[in-house]
Structures are given as C-alpha cells and as structure tokens.
Homo-oligomer: A and B are copies of this chain.
Amino acid sequence: MNIPRTSFPRVVIIGGGFAGVALAKKLSKQEVQVVLLDKNNYHTFQPLLYQVSTGGLEPDSIAYPIRKILKDFPNFYFRLANVDEIDTEKNKVVTDIGKLKFDYLVVASGSETNYFGNSEIEKHSMAMKTIPQSLNLRSLILENFEDALLTSDLNERNALMNFVIVGGGPTGVELAGALAEIKKGILPKDYPDLDTRLAQIHIVQSSDCILKGMSDKASKKAEDFLEKLGVNIWKNVRVTNYDGKTVTTNTDLTFETATVVWAAGVKGATIKGVDAEEFITRGNRILVNEFNQVKGFNHIFAVGDIACMINDEFPNGLPMMAQPAIQQGKQLGDNLLRLIEEKPMHSFKYKDKGAMATIGRNKAVVDLKRFKFQGIFAWYVWMFVHLFFLIGFRNRMVVFVNWVYNYVRFDREARLIIRPFKKRLKT
C-alpha cells in the first residue's frame, strides 16, 4: 500500500464504525499518521438500519462517506480494503490491496451476525447488520407482497405474509414495530386486492422477556406496545432451524414463513492473527485490559464491539452498543498520545448513558440512570438522540424531513424494490 512514511508514528485503525471514527477524530491534528481501513467507503449508523429495511429512510441518509468525516485532517489516509490478516511479529496488516506496516494497531472491526453454527439458518434467513443486508430485506418484504398476489395457494400466500423475527432485543423489537405499522397503515392501501389481515408478525425470544438489557418496566411496556400493534411475542421459545420454508423450535411451535430475520445475536468479527484462543473470549471478542490493549502487546489495541473489556459491573464485557464504542474510541485517542509521549495511560471508565428502543409512533421506552419512562415523551427523546448522533447536517435534515412526513402522513415512501432480491415466482 503506497502510503508515505513520515516522521510521525503510524496508527492503523481497522474499521470505520463508531469506535474507529471516534478514535480517528480524536487523533486528528495530532502528530501521528492515521490510516483507516474499511471494506466500505462509508460509516453506517446501524441503529437506524431497520428503518431502511422498512421503507422509512433512504440508505444514503444513515450512512456517511468516511473520507468526508476526516477530510480536514492532515496526516489522515483512508483505504478501501478488506483486512485478511494481522502479522503481529512483523507489525503488518495484510489486506486485499497490499500490506501495511504499523507502529500502533487498533482493531475496531465490530461484530457480525451470530448464527451459533447453524448454516441452514445462515443460508435462509435475513440479517440486518449492514446497508446491503437492510436493502435486501426491504426488497424481500416488498417482493413477498407482490408474490402473495400471484399465488392461489393459500398456504403459500400465508407463508409470504408471515414474518418471523428471531430475537427480542432492540433490533427485533424495532423491526417488529415498524412492520406492524406497515401492516396497519400501508398494506391495505397498497394492496387492496390482498387480504392483508393475513400478514402476521412474530417475535421469537429464547428467554422470558424482550429487551433483556433494559429495565423490567421498559421490557413490560414494550411488550404492551407490541401487542397493541398486533405483534405476536413468543417467549421462552428457541428457534432450532429454518429450512427456507418452516421454522422449527424447541417446542411444538412451528412457523411456515418466507421471511426469517435473524436478530438473535452478534459475535465479534475477528481477524486472523488475533483470533487465537489466547486472545478470544466469550462472544468471539478479543479480551482487552483497561487500556483496550490486547493481551501480550503494548501497541495493539481493540475497541468497540470486537473488544471485550471486563469489569465488576460487566463481568461478561461491556455491551456491544454504540456508546461503549464511542467512549472507548475517544479514550484510546488520548491514551495513544500519552503512550507515544511515554506518559502513563488512563483506565477506561464506562459512563452508562442508558438505553432506549422505539416501537412505533408515539411509542418508545427509555432507561436513563435516574429516570425510566415510556410512551410519547420517550419517543421524542429517542428521535432527538438519534438525530443528534447521526453524522452530518444533510443526513439530519433528510432524516428529519422523512420522519416528519412519515408521522404526519402515516406513511413510509421509500418502498422501492431497487435491487430485486429473489427470483420471481412463476405461476
């Protein structure tokens, strides 16, 4: 990779997610050379992917060109690259566009969908971790309704209008709520010749509550909201397989469906070279110390979802969410500069800013440290916080316009099958 060597130490960051971008920003205008590698040329605001899938937002408004985030920073280099391996002996990263030597390396490669080893589920179900995946899901949902019109086989039509979401975390809950609103507000108008009452939305949750990381009150209220919207919640049920037609579970319950969204878990997206057993812990994450250092190295770090930092409050590691990633990225920026100046680094302390999830119009749940609230005020807070954390003024404006429009008109207009996902049924 032809990146010039300067007298500044080179920090290579793998991944332009929340952690990688926060770190790169912190290192800007400092006496370091920063090379950010990502397989996309954009940063994805993952918390809003479900709105792309359900036609509420355009993909471009929740993504942001990485080059633009960092365009005013000297000594900053971006390369579109897949990292294949980290050579910890020679201090090099090996990518599909060549090798690159580093002085400091930060692994911020994030997480990927965890199918817990079930390749059939992986093959047949939809994930929602990236923009292309979210667009595929959008296309599939819309194609299903078009196909439901074509078939005269009632079982097939039911399967096409049956949506099974596996996992009752924020992703599953928000997607289910959005689908329920589409069923209520859009399907009857768009498909007057289809009995859209047949459309069913299911959440299958292996434990005894949804939104497990949140307060009991939030979990209970979210369940109420979803039930009011007509979503079926199946608790204490674990999905065992999906062959493309039938979902089987550890109970008698089965679902005939053309659409399974797998939101049941994520795991660290490890990279060869730091994936040996000595580095990896629960959830396929890289174990780090309080300075985000990877075991055995002074100059190799991991931040965000890929990093597992354990403390008394979080014996299984910090949650895999935006906030720990952003905070770790910022702190590591400071620490790297301290390390370079041979000053002692500061331990990372996670400031829990709470958690929130939206279920539908005027319906959200928010857990802050001191306050827990649900309903319309929570919904406004949810919107404000998400707009605030979006990168870019244009993105905020466009998302805001869309939200106001969708709210006033009970609509979601971005329902275009721009890239068909499945082959059409023939009848």
Task: List residues of A whose CB falls within 8 A of some B CB.
Answer: 1-3, 40-42, 58-61, 63-65, 67-68, 71-72, 77, 79-80, 96-98, 131-132, 135, 142-143, 146, 149-150, 152, 189-193, 392-395, 397-398, 401-402, 405, 409, 411, 413-419, 424-427
Contacts and interface: CB of A to CB of B under 8 A. Distances in A.
A387 to B, nearest CB: 14
B424 A96 contact: yes
Given A150-B97, A152-B2, A398-B402, A135 B77 contact: no
A63 B142 CA distance: 15
A405 to B, nearest CB: 5
Given A80-B146, A397-B401, A191 B419 contact: no
Contacts of A409: 394
A70 B131 CA distance: 29
A125 to B, nearest CB: 21
A2 B393 contact: no
A424 B65 CA distance: 18
24 contacts: A3-B193, A40-B416, A41-B146, A42-B416, A42-B417, A58-B58, A58-B61, A60-B418, A68-B190, A68-B413, A71-B189, A97-B150, A97-B426, A98-B150, A131-B416, A132-B418, A132-B419, A394-B402, A394-B405, A394-B409, A395-B413, A397-B405, A398-B401, A401-B401
Given A68-B413, A395-B413, A413-B60, A135 B402 contact: no
A72 B96 CA distance: 52
Given A58-B58, A67-B191, A97-B150, A419 B419 contact: yes
A409 B397 CA distance: 14
B190 A71 contact: yes
Contact of A398 (B63, B68, B143, B398): B398
Contacts of A401: 394, 397-398, 401
Identify which of A42, A58, A65 gathers the most chain B CB atoms within 10 Å of its CB: A65
A97 B41 CA distance: 38
Nearest to A65: B415
A180 to B, nearest CB: 19
Contacts of A142: 41
A419 B417 CA distance: 14
B97 A190 contact: no
Given A65-B416, A72-B189, 11 more contacts: A40-B416, A42-B417, A58-B58, A58-B60, A58-B398, A60-B416, A71-B189, A98-B150, A393-B405, A394-B401, A398-B402
A385 to B, nearest CB: 21
A135 B59 CA distance: 12
Contacts of A41: 142, 146, 415-417
Contact of A97 (B3, B72, B132, B424): B424
Given A79-B149, A397-B401, A135 B418 contact: yes
A225 B59 CA distance: 33
